[in-house]
Amino acid sequence: MSLADDLYRETILDHYHNPRNNGSIDNASATVEGVNPLCGDELTLYLNVSPAGLIEDVKLMAHGCSINTASGSMMSEAILGQSVERAEEIIESFKNMMLTKSDEVAFEDELEELEALRGVKKYPVRIKCALLPWNTLLEGIQTAKSTKKE
């Protein structure tokens, strides 16, 4: 059964049924909404960035499919406590993994879990579901940066 293997792996279902960092942050340094126009899925991302540029807290309120929810949950774990610069690197690696044909391993060690989402590539219409949280995060980081400058 290809689906059970590729798309609905145990890791993904685990994050879907128990999404990490689920919730909201009052007075977050950035609050951004993401929408997938294809299916209407919505996502609100809350970000707290310290003056030194560390991601101190991240929360997600997602109303989406398993891929969208799991991707957001895994993303939150990957970037929590990282510097903004490191988070941007991770976002780039993830988007590369999803958007290029290459099968090179993008993540090792503590980020290895993200590899579980590689199977989504076989289902082109679902790539948008996986990318929604990441694109929303990118926007959140831009917002946090510009607020800091003011």
Q: Which of 11, 22, 44, 66 binds other proteins (CB under 8 A)?
A: 66
Q: Kindly indicate which of the ranges 23-31, 51-59, 66-74, 100-108 contains the residues binding other proteins, using the contact rule CB under 8 A.
A: 66-74
Q: Which of 4, 81, 92, 112 binds other proteins (CB under 8 A)?
A: 4
At closest approach, how far in Å is the CB of 129 from other proteins?
7
Q: Contact at 8 Å (CB) between 96 and 117?
A: no
The total of other beta-carbon atoms located within 10 Å of residue 74's CB is 25
Give yes or no for residue 126 binding other proteins (CB under 8 A).
yes
For other proteins, give the closer residue by CB, 7 or 79.
Answer: 7
Interface positions, 23-52, toward other proteins (CB under 8 A): 38-42
At closest approach, how far in Å is the CB of 55 from other proteins?
27
Give yes or no for residue 7 binding other proteins (CB under 8 A).
yes
Give yes or no for residue 67 binding other proteins (CB under 8 A).
yes
Rounded-to-integer distance, Cα 88 and Cα 108, Å: 17
Q: Contact at 8 Å (CB) between 75 and 113?
A: no
**DSSP 8-state symbol, 58:** E
Rounded-to-integer distance, Cα 113 and Cα 90, Å: 13
Q: Contact at 8 Å (CB) between 73 and 134?
A: no
Q: Contact at 8 Å (CB) between 83 and 42?
A: no
Tokens of 80: 């929590």
For other proteins, give the closer residue by CB, 7 or 60.
Answer: 7
Contact footprint for other proteins (CB under 8 A): 1-4, 7-8, 13, 17, 38-42, 63-68, 123, 126, 129
